[in-house]
Structure 1
């Protein structure tokens, strides 16, 4: 992949990422020294003490597997930073050795011709950044730490963010404002892809709060057969994410499983695989991990560029239609139009039977501005709903005493995203035409994205 030019179009950056095909996740942080998956946030900084850190070995092992990029856990959920942050957080700056692991990693991977990505957790147990306990000061701490990572370590190709809007953290995109931080990062490094590791809960064919769709296989998230958006899938070569003492002689994922079950089929579906290889407490990969990575490289060869993707809209702001007053042309008993704007993609509204057209109307409030419209249909949710049931649709805005078309479509998919010129309206209507069977609407999306 050629060096990024300034401000490359997003779909070109996504395509370049997919062309990388195979990367190395490196979970190495406080939890490494505790035999835990999440580090103990009360641990003293000096517990983090890699005695023989060898990031060149990491890079060489990645290359032996045919990998082309890496991603390092700069800060996991316990909040310990493995770079010498100037913020108040505990970090390697507070250890005797003061080793900047992030610097060593980026230098080694670039020296070996590998692209570099970073991982950063929004959830921070040391600083008590949790749901219902987020303050402006804590938001600024997050921004300051990300600014350090984006200004001190050269060009970062991708950032994987964790702990945001996850069922186990519950920190919402509003508590820690996603679009503010996303915009800040894009100003610092316009060509860095920003991926939220937990955004897979949204419909798989839409990019909500992420430039790259993420599927964490260890958490039971699997790439859908019909996936068409740029994505990565992550899995571990050991049982867990961080190294444990039992991994010295423990089982590793087989070469056959990595190559034949994950790498080859996922590459064919617009997805890059990132395989986690955890360093030991020394800061090196164990011999069995090194050997398995070599075997993978012998069994799989980089196949060159992947199939081309289509440009996809990225949603970074809140849905202006969620929870607003809504009415419909008709609804069966027990089904209300509010099921189409309740923020739950698993619920849906549908019209009465015996009809061939219907509409939903949302009261947005006093003259709201928006520039992105989304229609979500539950295609694939049920065995008898494997393709769109909508013949055609149109989004309309109320203006000057009548309805005016904003978008007209006749080739629905599960998620239809439309970028339009910024518009002001107090009411929005979705009109659909169909035959039999009756279509369902999971969500109407109305967004004001910060596009230039």
Structure 2
């Protein structure tokens, strides 16, 4: 049975999904035993004593991320090697068995406190695959172990904004394959941290499909319900660290939510995308990568294509053996933040007058697009699938970016749009795009004009917009 357009527009985000989407840009911190072995995946046989950062300073990690414009940090509390960055009561393979801080250290505690002190949210990554734990592969026993560790993280470290599960699932040391009890884990999270989103192998946020920073031209948040289980299927999970799995880009998955997808689907869900990518070629720190850190220009392009492409950006920033973010990474992130603030702090369209070809009533007046508020919006009457807006900036203004934001509390509706600017009483094409979603950043060469036109040429039922922003890069 096909999903109708009317049914599709009724699919909307939950409050927790909406709060997560508004975070936009946050950090991954890959730090652990692999930092000291030079490996991306440990085998679980590492000696905890090698974990010994010499200039450990998590406040520096948080400051680096905050200055970059990030809103939160997710820590790899336990990676596939099973080494825990907190003194878990359920294993000795943790910081308590290291000589660092005389076995009294707790990276999870320190980073959670540093985040709170600087106003960033804190999240946890807990690998379901554990290559050290002997019960792995004995499904009931290991699931109990995993849930106990999850409970520790969710009860001892304050508010958690995200629990991040990946889908890696290889054999245990006993040669058995673990069958994860995801549903019990989800119930535990909802009980202990009801506002936390569950990402990737979870019901709230989906993986974009690669770790190469690739974004679809049309990144739908309304997708077939079957996608919720995509990353949980053991046969399709990552089992070896061969450097290719995360870089795969499958053209067949480019279309996740168009009308042709609706025609084949039985039900749709709100399942928005997150892009996870590292500032370096690898996830854990390797000194050989010190000259391969993403440049400021690359970071700007990544930010605008992901956050500005209806996704969230999870950027990995790995501390080194000292326990510090390397100077190159910190400098580039600081300069990224400076550029973002200089470019997007001042909306040239704020307070501008707006003309609309169709407006239903005053509660959804087109003037809401430039009022600087996120709780107001414009929309025409139902059935008006095409609409036109003209923004009057009041005087000729130079700009090179337009930011559109759909009012996703009413679903995702816009399917295609065009932008133009007026010069000598002629409308000159500026940009053409497909979906908008939470945020669409449209960038182009600098133009100067007083009037900017938006035409919505395709939409579902009727389009909505909460914001039309105009900016100029510095």
Q: TM-score with structure 2 length normalisation?
A: 0.56
Change (3 A) 1:147 1:310: same
Are 1:240 and 2:339 counterparts? no
| Structure 1: stretches of 5+ with no match in the other structure | 1-8, 313-385, 387-410, 413-452
Higher helix content, 1 or 2:
2
* C-alpha spacing 1:73/1:60, structure 2 compared with 1 (3 Å): same
Q: Identify the residue that residue 111 of structure 2 maps to in structure 1.
A: 105
Instruction: Please name the residue that 1:181 is paired with.
Output: 185
Q: Does 1:160 align with 2:164?
A: yes
Task: Tell me, yes or no, if the aligned pair for 2:208 and 2:274 is still in contact at 8 Å.
Answer: no
Match of 2:308 in 1: 268
1:259-298 superposed matches below 5 A: 259-260=300-301, 262-298=302-338
Counterparts in 2 of 1:287-326, with a 5 A limit?
287-301=327-341, 307-309=406-408
Tell me the distance in 1 between the aligned counterparts of 2:176 and 2:247: 18
Determine helix, strand or coil for the equivalent of 2:14: helix
Distance in 1 of aligned mates of 2:308 and 2:143: 39
Please give the secondary structure, in 2, of the residue aligned with 1:25.
Answer: strand
Give, in whole Å, the separation in 2 of the partners of 1:65 and 1:100.
25
In 1: Cα distance, 2:230 partner to 2:75 partner? 19
Of residues 3, 15, 20, the one that matches 1:17 is 20
Q: 1:190 aligns with which of 186, 189, 194?
A: 194
Kindly state the Cα deviation for residue 127 of structure 1 after the two structures are TM-superposed.
Answer: 0.9
1:298 offset after TM fit, Å? 1.9
Q: Which has the higher contact order (CA 8 A, sep 6+)?
A: 2
Are the counterparts in 2 of residues 61 and 293 from structure 1 also a CA contact under 8 Å? yes
Q: Distance in 2 between matches of 1:296 and 1:226?
A: 31
The aligned residue for residue 240 of structure 2 is none
Aligned equivalent of 2:97: 94
Aligned positions, number: 300
Residue 254 of structure 1 corresponds to 295
- Give the direction of change, closer, same or farther, for the CA distance of 1:150–1:58 in structure 2 (3 Å limit): same
Contact kept in structure 2, 1:80 and 1:91, CA below 8 Å: yes
Q: Give the one of 129, 138, 145 matched to 1:141.
A: 145
What is the RMSD computed on CA atoms of the aligned residues?
A: 3.7
TM-score (norm 1): 0.59
Alpha-carbon separation, structure 2, partners of 1:74 and 1:257:
28
The answer to whether the 8 Å contact 1:20/1:68 transfers is yes
Are 1:116 and 2:122 matched, yes or no?
yes
Please name the residue that 1:84 is paired with. 87
1:220 CA drift (Å): 3.4
Structure 1 residues 373-403: Cα deviation after superposition (integer angstroms, max 9, x where no partner):
xxxxxxxxxxxxx9xxxxxxxxxxxxxxxxx
Find the aligned partners of 1:46 and 1:253 in 2 and give their Cα distance. 32
Instruction: Report the alpha carbon displacement of residue 60 of structure 1 after superposing the two structures with TM.
Output: 0.6
Cα displacement (A) at 1:128: 4.6
For structure 2, the 5+ residue unaligned runs are 1-11, 210-219, 233-243, 258-269, 346-371, 375-404, 412-433, 435-459, 462-474
Question: Is 2:54–2:321's contact at 8 Å kept on the other side of the alignment?
Answer: yes
